[in-house]
Copies of this chain bind each other. A is one copy, B any other.
Amino acid sequence: MMPQGGGEARGEALASLRGLMHELSTDPAQGDLFEQADREQAAGSLSPWQAANLREMRRAWVRATCIPIELVEASSRAESRCEQAWRTLRAQNDWVAFAPLLSEVVARKRDVAAAWQGPLGLGKYDALLDGFEPGARSAEIDVAFAELRAFLPGFIQAAVERQKSQPAVMPSGPFPTDRQRWLGLAVMAQIGFDFSRGRLDASHHPFCGGVPQDVRITTRYDEGDFTKSFMGVLHETGHAKYEQNLPHDWLDQPVGAARSMSLHESQSLLQEMQVSRGREFLSFVAPLIRQAFPAAADRRPEAFTADNLYRLYTRVHPDYIRVDADEVTYPCHVILRYELEKKLIEGSLQVSGIPDAWDEGMRQLLGLSTKGNYKDGCMQDVHWPAGLFGYFPTYTLGALTAAQIIAAARRALPDLSAQLTRGEFTPLNDWLRERIWSRGSLLGTQHLLIEATGAPLSAAAFKHHLQTRYL
């Protein structure tokens, strides 16, 4: 909603607030407070929630204090410069101008990782990864990703081959914005979004933001195609339901926050990929879609059947751009980035080597070459220019987690399939609230997942899901 001219003032306000927050969170007086809390814990006078809260507080404090402020600032400056330049250089496909800026970001990020390494007792890459995904270790991710790497390329070929005999019809518009909004609001209410504590708005880049008591999700409407915006709303609503159902009594404390990025993504992917692109939900929602767009549905009824919507929403198509990828090819994009960024941070790959490594990875994983095409290749994402190394794997960890959680929910709720076909979300939401949402950051991610699903994270449920849906 902000007019363009407001950006600078907002930036300055945020910088001031960040400065204040940093001062407060690195206040040396906190050392004494932690010692005192440790004595209380040793005396057994902390509840499990209090103890977990202390653990989360210490974690944030250690990360904030064990790194010289000059390093953080040098890293931030390099990132600002690189991200700013990236916005124009990507459009110009200009790798030559971009590479030195990215090299500076990588160099500073290595310094940051090195500073964290000792105090955190982690390898360089893991020190960064742990910032986005507490407790995650690359050694474990390597195992899961290796399994996917061995499985996906052949699987993708088979799925694409199979879908050739199952063409889908694209609904043709126009799809008025207000009708798309009506559809989105109706479905959000149906699946359990609480409108007394949140809103749906429009923005250029869809997101889920705000605070648990006021969750804002956005979408971008295209009057020529409702399908992307509609699925986007469902995805963000998955994030939103997690936020809205965090433990009410602890919302202003670290232990009250969502557990991790992969778990957050698992909730959006569970809603979008596992549930909303499934046959059950699409049979429920097809009549609503026809009600939203009666003229378009009358013109071409075959495009609005649940069967056709299912074919549309499960299309597999290897392509260059991560953000447009389907659930089957998406992990390939992530695995490529994960492998390269690990080497970049550990030092065995330099920025100059990225384009060739990217091209090679894309050929192996998706059978596509990006030679000379930096724009749709190694320059497509904002993450590296913005210094977000260690972030990419959480997308695919989220996909694996979503598959494992919904499989456990199906075992626990034998009627779930029939319920989803009727648009009944209360049983699933209740189950998720109890096992995941309301637990905030009480347990570590792995511990939480074992309690909720009976097993630590693996690729098994995800592979099973893909085989069931696509073959």
Contact (Cβ within 8 A) A211 B4? no
* Chain B residues within an 8 Å CB radius of A2: 214
Is A194 at the interface (CB under 8 A from chain B)?
Answer: yes
Measured CA separation A6–B216 after assembly (Å) = 11
Residue from B4, B5, B8, B211 in contact with A6 in the complex, judged by beta carbons closer than 8 Å: B211
Is A9 at the interface (CB under 8 A from chain B)?
Answer: yes
Is A323 at the interface (CB under 8 A from chain B)?
Answer: no
How many copies make up the complex?
2
Contact (Cβ within 8 A) B214 A6? yes
Is A161 at the interface (CB under 8 A from chain B)?
Answer: no
Contact (Cβ within 8 A) A3 B252? no
Is A195 at the interface (CB under 8 A from chain B)?
Answer: yes
Contact (Cβ within 8 A) A196 B3? yes
Contact (Cβ within 8 A) A213 B20? no
CB distance from A2 to the nearest CB of B (A): 6
Interface residues on A, range: 20 to 34
Is A199 at the interface (CB under 8 A from chain B)?
Answer: yes
Contact (Cβ within 8 A) B213 A9? yes
Is A12 at the interface (CB under 8 A from chain B)?
Answer: yes
Contact (Cβ within 8 A) A9 B211? yes
Measured CA separation A469–B197 after assembly (Å) = 50
Is A10 at the interface (CB under 8 A from chain B)?
Answer: yes
CB distance from A92 to the nearest CB of B (A): 26
Within 8 A of B (CB), among A171-223: 194-199, 201, 210-214
CB distance from A327 to the nearest CB of B (A): 32
Q: Which 4 A-B pairs have the closest CB atoms?
A: A6-B214, A5-B197, A9-B213, A5-B196
A-B contact pairs, 28 of them (CB 8 A): A1-B199, A1-B201, A2-B214, A3-B195, A3-B196, A3-B197, A3-B198, A3-B199, A3-B214, A4-B196, A5-B194, A5-B196, A5-B198, A5-B213, A5-B214, A6-B211, A6-B213, A6-B214, A8-B213, A9-B211, A9-B212, A9-B213, A9-B214, A9-B251, A10-B214, A12-B252, A13-B211, A20-B20
